Amino acid sequence: MRGWWPLLLVPLTASAEPAPFASLVEPGRTWTYDVTTTTYDIANWGSLTRPPKVTTHSVVTCTAGADGAITCDGPLEPAVAGRYEVTAEGLVRDRALVLAAKPKAFRKTTRDAAMNANLVQGVRLGHASWCVFEDSSDVDPDGATREQCFGPTGVTSGELDGGGGDWRHTRYTLRATRAARVAGTR
């Protein structure tokens, strides 16, 4: 004998999932980054195979203000500081779209005929973060490679390998992030 099972219909409710990158516009949120900077002394290179270099380590903390602006207590390259908005199109910094709301990986090469070189730009997925990258080292005398990664916790890392008159390599990674403190809590 087969029994019957009652069918219970439950209405589905909309998800309360926050918008991607929403932490970047959360007033009072802080991010702490470990920063490594290597500068190369190309003026005193001489006959050495490689230029002399100096590596420094620092910690930089950035804080989101009520107006969507993030300020940092030290330099980061590519910059984290700026005014952010999360729009239907995606993440906007200083009025320029940085990353689409639903990012897709791509790599685009543009040929610069005057310099007889390529400019490479794109987006890739790396370690649960979307990374925006650019390599202008061939098309600009002061060109560089840049990468900045964004995830649900904000800017997760960045790297600049610069040439030209200021030869340096800077890399930063997110050490910690903390939401704004609520009044009456520790």
Tokens of 141: 């005398």
**Which of 162, 170, 171, 125 has its CA nearest to residue 140?**
162
Tokens of 2: 């087969």
What average pLDDT does range 10-21 have in this prediction? Answer: 45
The pLDDT value recorded for residue 75 is 92
Report the DSSP beta bridge partners of residue 64.
70
What average pLDDT does range 3-31 have in this prediction? Answer: 60
In the chain, where the domains are located? 22-178
Q: What share of the chain is helix, strand, coil (3-state, %, to 5)?
A: 5, 50, 45
Cis? peptide before 78, omega within 30° of 0: yes
% of the chain surpassing 70 pLDDT: 80
Which pLDDT tens digit goes with each residue over 107-154? Answer: 999 887 776 778 899 999 987 899 999 988 777 766 788 999 999 999
